[in-house]
Structure 1
């Protein structure tokens, strides 16, 4: 792992390839694979990750919003791109850049039909989202006839997939709920296909679903967090490799006497003599205030250094009393040896949040290409 001279997010594409191959090994050869690259590819680098997934043989990509898909198209990505939460105000741009919308309600379907007809489209690829229990986005059983009738009446669109989302695929205590979701989706998709007279692809499994419910892989699976090295289960985490490592350096070391304070609001007060190190990373870089007061811990020279007091906008101060270190030494926030999941869990949150929070001002360096 390269040494850094500033706060840097190191992205290891060899680890991404390992994770992709591991997840692929859990599904049938003919099952298609969709890589989720929304939110700057879970806080990493969307364009770099998308190019690598395209090279590795992924069949589809998914983003949250149209603007993300446009960024990929402008970077030369040719794979089909599913937009998971398109907004009607962006439909003209979506069509112009050959992005594929998830249609999840009668209102959004009608608005897309209007846009597609205005653009004189024929058989434009769309995806139908069913709500089977997550209760976030999606059509219900009562909408199946409407979807089929509108699709048949309008030659401007063609349904290329229908899909749903498991709410608790990583939680074995919720297995009955997940099975109910899968069965509900089977019924909904079969009903739609019967009424359409053709069979779109079906997909429901996320990363944890791929591991725990391979019997429900249908024609395609979707993976987001697993590609970046996290499986929501300790035994799966052990099989994956963290793609992103967040490193920074020690800017200054202070000797703090007894009864002195550190940082804003004097949130840390020493009871004895200690040594603190200031690092150039803060909540403007994605290390939120919830990691302050000892909940966030970085690693310096293979030893733990808890955050002292409140996180500042551009800096944190950590306790290095028991660490042999000097100004310019590296500090690892998370990575291969200490996962983002572990760093996040100390503050009562999850790997998704810390990964996607990393600011775009943090330098990205790509390795393992």
Structure 2
């Protein structure tokens, strides 16, 4: 594989396919699979990722916002797309682009019904979200009679799925709470569908749910972070393959004597003769200031090089003393020999925040399957 000549985020579609097949192997063949591609497919490229997943046979997609779904439609994605957090002002766009809204409160349910009626819709697919303990979006159990009444009194919409979101499916210490969420979801669903003459899709399992609670798969599962190579479990992570690798190059190497300082505010002082390399990547690219001051480091020719001084907007400095390297050499920020989880933990955060934070000015490079 050719070395990077600039800062690039490599997207490995072979690894994506591996993760998809691994996760599907954990569920029954008749259980549908929803692929979450919000936030630019967790910081990569939503169109590239969605096209590959559509080719692989995913049943559904999910995005956070309407504009994300429109982008997929405009780039050839024909599978159903669930919009997880739609806003009132975008309802007509949702219908125009055949997107499917998550309706999570009485106000938003009434509003979407009104829009659907105005646009002469019939049986437009919508998704109903229950709050079972995460306490973000969703209907609470006492609201079910009102939902049932509103749905029975209109022919403009039809429930495509009913779903909820597990709060701690990756934490075995919270097993009782998770089982309680699953049981409550089952009870709420029975209460809502009792009067329906059809069966909506049911889903509550996220990636960790698929792995730890496969019996709660119902008729569909959702996976986001798992598709990109992270299982939230040290026993599962080795079976997944990270889809993205962030690479950059050495711009310049400077020799410094003992006592010299590096970067803004002179926060790093070299303790002896040192070689300091500058890299063309900084907090404007998603490598935030939390990773500076030797908290995290990068890989240069197979060796670990700590980030020294404060992270700058477009530049970080690393200590390459004792490492054979020269200007123009490739540097791996995360991915490959340095797992993103390890890099993120060094800064006191999680892989989700790290990978979704890679900014759009970083060139995306697709590695085909």
- The answer, yes or no, to whether TM exceeds 0.5 is yes
The match for 1:340 is 340
Does the Cα contact within 8 Å between 1:134 and 1:165 map onto a contact in 2?
Answer: yes
Q: Distance in 1 between matches of 2:366 and 2:324?
A: 30
How many corresponding residue pairs? Answer: 369
Match of 1:320 in 2: 320
Partner of 2:55: 55
Q: Is the 8 A contact 1:206 1:221 kept in 2?
A: yes
Q: Which residue of 1 aligns with 2:255?
A: 255
Partner of 1:309: 309
Displacement, 1:257?
A: 1.5
| Residues 1:265 and 2:256 are matched in the alignment | no
Could you say what secondary structure the match of 2:22 adopts? Answer: helix
1:144-200 Cα offsets, whole Å, 9 max, x none, are 111111111111100010000000000011000000000000000111110334321
Q: Kindly indicate whether the alpha-carbon contact (under 8 Å) linking 1:241 and 1:336 is maintained by their aligned counterparts in 2.
A: no
Verify: 1:367 aligned to 2:342, yes or no.
no
Q: What secondary structure, in the 3-state scheme, does the structure 2 residue paired with 1:248 have?
A: strand
Q: Distance in 1 between matches of 2:352 and 2:164?
A: 20
Q: Tell me the equivalent position of 2:85.
A: 85
Residue 259 of structure 1 and its aligned partner are, at CA, apart by: 1.3
Instruction: Tell me by how many angstroms 1:272 deviates.
Output: 1.8
Give the corresponding residue for 2:139: 139
Q: Distance in 2 between matches of 1:291 and 1:228?
A: 22
Cross-structure match for 1:169? 169
Q: 1:65 touches 1:86 (CA, 8 Å); kept in 2?
A: yes
1:184 paired residue number? 184
How far has the Cα of 1:271 moved from its partner? 2.1
Distance 1:142 1:63 in 2: 28
Q: Which 5+ residue runs of structure 1 have no aligned equivalent?
A: none
Work out the CA distance in 1 between the residues paired with 2:177 and 2:2: 45
**Secondary structure at 2:194 match in 1:** helix
Match of 1:199 in 2: 199
Q: In the alignment, which residue of structure 1 is the partner of 2:236? A: 236
Task: Using structure 2 for the length normalisation, give the TM-score.
Answer: 0.99
Asked if 1:355 is matched to 2:355, the reply is yes
What is the rounded CA distance, in whole Å, between the counterparts of 1:292 and 1:197 in structure 2?
Answer: 59
The residue that corresponds to 2:274 in the other structure is 274
Q: What RMSD, in angstroms, separates the aligned Cα atoms of the two structures?
A: 0.8
CA distance in 2, matches of 1:208, 1:125: 27
Query: Distance between the aligned counterparts of 1:267 and 1:73, measured in 2?
Result: 49
| Offset at residue 286 of structure 1 (A) | 0.5
Structure 1 stretches of 4+ with a deviation exceeding 2 A read 195-198
Alpha-carbon distance in structure 2 between the residues aligned to 1:199 and 1:292: 53
Aligned to 2:37: 37
- Secondary structure of 1:235 counterpart: coil
Aligned to 1:330: 330
3-state DSSP class of the match of 1:196?
coil
Which secondary structure state, in structure 2, belongs to the residue aligned with residue 175 of structure 1?
helix
- The residue number in structure 1 matching 2:76 is 76
Q: Find the counterpart in structure 1 of residue 9 from structure 2.
A: 9
Task: For residues 107-158 of structure 1, give each alpha carbon's deviation from its aligned partner in whole angstroms, at most 9, with x where no partner exists.
Answer: 1111111111111110000000000000010001111111111111111100
- Which residue number in structure 1 is paired with residue 214 of structure 2? 214
Contact 1:61–1:82, Cα closer than 8 Å, also in 2: yes
Which runs of no fewer than 5 residues in structure 2 stay unpaired?
A: none
TM-score by length of structure 1 reads 0.99
Distance in 1 between residues matched to 2:285 and 2:108, nearest whole Å = 35
